[in-house]
Amino acid sequence: MTVEQQTRFRTLKDIPTPDYMSPGGSLCAGCGGLLAVRLFHKVLGPNLVWVNAAGCLTVMVNYPYVPLKSNWLYTAFASAPAGAQGVRDAFDILIQKGKIPAEEDVKVVVLTGDGGAYDIGLQSTSGAMYRNLDFYYLCYDNQAYGNTGFQVSSATPIGSATATTPPTPSEPGGNMFKRKDLFEIWRAHKPPYIATLSSSFAVDFLRKVEKGSKMKGPKLFISLAGCPTGWGYDPRETIREEKLAVDTGIWPLKEAVNGEVKHTYLPRALKPVEEYLSTQARYEHLFRPTKRTEVIRMIQNDVNNYWKMVSKDENVEIRLVGE
């Protein structure tokens, strides 16, 4: 059975028209995390509970002004998966005892930024996976601690400037640590479904959420979340920035079903990473006043090496940059 037969999402015309999020709100204009939540909601519908780890999207819900047509639970930075366990257990017990009908059951979704997903909440998340908790885990990855001033996180890419890794005479390239691979950290726990997402590939995004919704157990969705404030670009360009990340190979679109990895978008030819880096203020120090060729080359080599392995593993031909 083909993907087209398995999914109700074939083209952009199939994106559901109902919105479960009101317009306006207190988040930054062009927030990629907000786009991800909106698309996620369109697939799962309104009958869910968001369990929010402290972060950028925490300021989206300011009582009594709630933009969501669903349920919301605040938790501390490190404990969203533990909160999700409580919600899931409570509904299971209430249904089992006949206190509420089964049709009133809800989907439980942890919503967290990369700070909570890669760093502060990783222990709690590992525990929830160990217990095989049936929940969705949506990470809006803006690649820094965006809500508190854009400090470095373990999701921050090499060469990026943040509030705590600015370019300096001793470290002119900015952040020089490589990102953690959250996809592989989750895969080591053997959950049923893991996927990377980008709102710039909306149909791919919707298909993956739909696919995960048919599986029981922990399900991870890592969505690239363009951040105009922290990355330094015009808020109107979020979709362009996210698409450039995919087209340059910096942000691969892939999934793992019961541990088996498959890329859902395979570019025929990668665009140079410079096309992506040069559009954002967080990489400006790589181009001015002196071009940091060695750092740019390092980033390009990492991307090329990744896609060399993909080409071999999935038996496809991808034209790399400079090779």
pLDDT digits (tens, 9 = 90+) for 181-190: 999 999 999 9
Q: Which band of pLDDT confidence, cut at 50, 70 and 90, is reported for residue 63?
A: confident
Q: Where are the domains of the chain?
A: 3-267
**pLDDT at residue 3 greater than cutoff 70:** no
CA 188 – CA 164 distance, rounded (Å): 31
| Least confident residue range of 6-10, 200-204, 274-278 | 6-10
The predicted model scores a pTM of: 0.96
Compute, in degrees rounded to 10, the torsion defined by CA atoms 230, 263, 204, 197.
-20
Please report the pLDDT score of residue 5 as a whole number.
Answer: 52
Q: Which band of pLDDT confidence, cut at 50, 70 and 90, is reported for residue 215?
A: very high
For residue 108, what are the β-bridge partners? 49
Q: What is the pLDDT of residues 17-31, one digit of tens each?
A: 999 998 878 899 999
Place of tokens 């967080």: 282
Choose which CATH entry (3.40.640.10, 3.40.50.970, 3.40.50.300, 3.30.1300.10) describes domain 3-267: 3.40.50.970
Q: Is residue 193 a contact partner of residue 212, using CB atoms and an 8 Å limit?
A: yes
What single letter denotes the amino acid at residue 317? E
Question: CA 314 → CA 49, 204, 268, distances in Å?
Answer: 37, 19, 13
Average pLDDT of 205-225? 98
In three-state secondary structure terms, 278 is coil
Strands 193-198 and 71-75: unpaired
Give the angle 252-186-84 at the CA atoms, nearest 5°.
Answer: 115
Give the residue among 289, 278, 209, 286 at the shortest CA–CA distance from 248. Answer: 278
Q: Which band of pLDDT confidence, cut at 50, 70 and 90, is reported for residue 6?
A: confident
* Start-end of H helices in 97-222: 114, 122-130, 182-187, 202-213
- Distant-in-sequence, close-in-space partners of 106: CB < 8 Å, separation ≥ 6: 47, 48, 49, 71, 87, 91
Q: What is the pLDDT of residues 71-118, one digit of tens each?
A: 999 999 999 999 999 999 999 999 999 999 999 999 999 999 999 999
CA 204 – CA 254 distance, rounded (Å): 10
* Start-end of H helices in 114-222: 114, 122-130, 182-187, 202-213
**pLDDT at residue 152 greater than cutoff 50:** yes
Q: What is the pLDDT of residues 43-54, one digit of tens each?
A: 999 999 999 999
